[in-house]
Amino acid sequence: MGKIADPARKSIGARRNPDSADAILEAAEAVLIEAGYAGFSIEAVARRARAGKPTIYRWWPSKAALLLEVYQRQKRVDIPDTASLEEDLVGFLINLFTHWRETSSGSIFKSLIAEAQSDETAAAALAGYAGGRRTHTGQIVERAKARGEIAGDIDPAVVADLVASYAWRHLLINRLDEPEATIRKMVRYLLQGIEAPGGQR
């Protein structure tokens, strides 16, 4: 250890960091995509990145921390904005399922859930991510409420919670290939009877 630590990282000065750090993150992502959580070991990442294990541990305190950064690095899913809550939600879920399937970032998210069972850091990150008001579904529903599309006595958080729960469960049981009709049926059911009296629909 050095004399003064970077609050975010843990080492002293950063001379050749960025190259190594990027190579390691990219290797970690590649390993997760190709071998899944079962094959995600620090040694595999080091081999792939042509880096030494100590280099990885210099920058990330644990396997969970590396996984977390790989996850956060994934680019976000487009949030549709069609001025209709039903279309927004259906579009978002289809985008999300496709993104999870095609970029394998679903694997990464599932890995995070798995890691959270044995690592406190990952558990806190997962709970924080799910509990925050910044979730995608939360934004979509809040926007619809601001638009006056939802009755006043409906709590947007409940709708957002249910939509997110649906997505998580379908990810966990490997059912990301639901046809649009199935998703729309669920969303339609979910939105049944929540229109505000003067809502524009």
- CA geometry: angle at 150 spanning 144 and 153, to 5°? 130
Q: Residue 113 binds what, of DNA, a copy of itself, none (CB under 5 to 8 Å, by partner type)?
A: a copy of itself
169 touching a copy of itself, by CB under 8 A:
yes
**Which of 36, 37, 55, 74: binder of DNA (CB under 7 A)?**
55
Q: How far is the CB of 128 from DNA (least distance, A)?
A: 20
Cβ distance to DNA smaller for residue 34 or 180: 34
Give kind and range of the element (H or E) at residue 186.
Answer: helix 180-191
Q: Compute the distance between CA of residue 97 and CA of residue 105 in angstroms, rounded to an integer.
A: 10
Please give the DSSP secondary-structure letter assigned to residue 83. S
- How far is CA 165 from each of CA 24, 33, 106, 108, 131, rounded to the nearest angstrom? 32, 24, 15, 17, 12
3 interface partner picked from DNA, a copy of itself, none, CB below 5 to 8 A per type:
DNA
DSSP 12: S
Q: Which of 25, 28, 31, 49 binds DNA (CB under 7 A)?
A: 49
Distance in Å, CB of 40 to a copy of itself, minimum: 9
Q: What is the DSSP letter of 193?
A: T
Compute the distance between CA of residue 183 and CA of residue 19 in angstroms, rounded to an integer: 42
148 binds a copy of itself (CB under 8 A): no
Nearest CA-CA partner of 103 in 39, 27, 23, 29:
29
Q: What is the largest CA-CA distance in the chain?
A: 64
Does residue 124 interact with DNA by CB under 7 A?
no
Minimum distance, C-beta of residue 130 to a copy of itself, in the bound complex (Å):
5
State yes or no: residue 36 binds a copy of itself (CB under 8 A): yes
Site for DNA in 61-80 (CB under 7 A): 62-63
Where on the chain is the footprint of a copy of itself (CB under 8 A)? 36-38, 110-111, 113-119, 123, 126-127, 130-131, 154-155, 158-159, 161-162, 164-166, 168-170, 172-175, 185-186, 189-190, 192-194
